[in-house]
Amino acid sequence: MKSARENFAVKGLAGTRIEDIAREAGVTKQLVYHYYGSKASLFTTVLEDVSTRIMDELIELEIDDLSPDVALRKLLYCCFDQYMNDPLLGTLALEGIRYHESQDSRPNNFIHRSPALVKKFTSILTRGISEGMFRPDIDARLFLASSSLLMSGAFTNHYSMSVLVGFDTRSEEGMGVWREHSADLILASIASK
């Protein structure tokens, strides 16, 4: 699976060859086809593995005992840190998006786990609203989607973001700046006035 993950992240679905994956994994390509059936099936298995890991980490993050603003910041940092700690995640995410947009995708873990993440965000927002920290007019799903895009943007849109901000968003310093700026901007966008 490691070889497949690396190949798909570096070469994309179209550029990846099962022969290369098999050779790097120390197995035959026939064995890979026996287990996965096709390159597309192996790719979706890699995506399932990645999405399960990242969604579970976000959903299981223990933040219920924190104040809503601190809980939200910790959740945002977790999202960012997943990309920072896994250099292949940004390119795999983009390749997965391209794949799912061009296919009739079967139900997958991302689709199944999303309601739990929406519920987690909703819970934080509801607590923040009731405590007077957050505005009452926030749509949790829109907020989650836009927050995810902002936190991951330095990795999934590295070139454009780096040009616009004037520093490498994947450098250690650049990641630190983007991480703080994004979380601050997101929290400021929902703060009660």
Q: 23-79, pLDDT tens digit by residue?
A: 999 998 899 989 899 898 999 999 999 999 999 999 999 999 999 999 999 999 999
Number of domains in the chain: 1
Rounded CA-CA distance 184/16 in Å is 39
pTM here is: 0.90
Q: What is the CATH number of the domain that holds 77?
A: 1.10.357.10
Query: Residues 6 or more apart from 57 whose CB is under 8 A from it?
Result: 78, 82
Average pLDDT, the chain: 92
Sequence-distant (6+) residues with CB within 8 A of 23 are: none
Radius of gyration (C-alpha) of the chain in whole angstroms: 19
Whether the predicted pLDDT of 111 surpasses 90: no
Q: Within 13 Å of residue 148, how many CA atoms lie on the same side as its CB?
A: 15
In contact, 33 and 18? CB cutoff 8 Å: yes
Where in the sequence is the domain holding 88, given as residue range(s)? 2-190
pLDDT at 178: 96
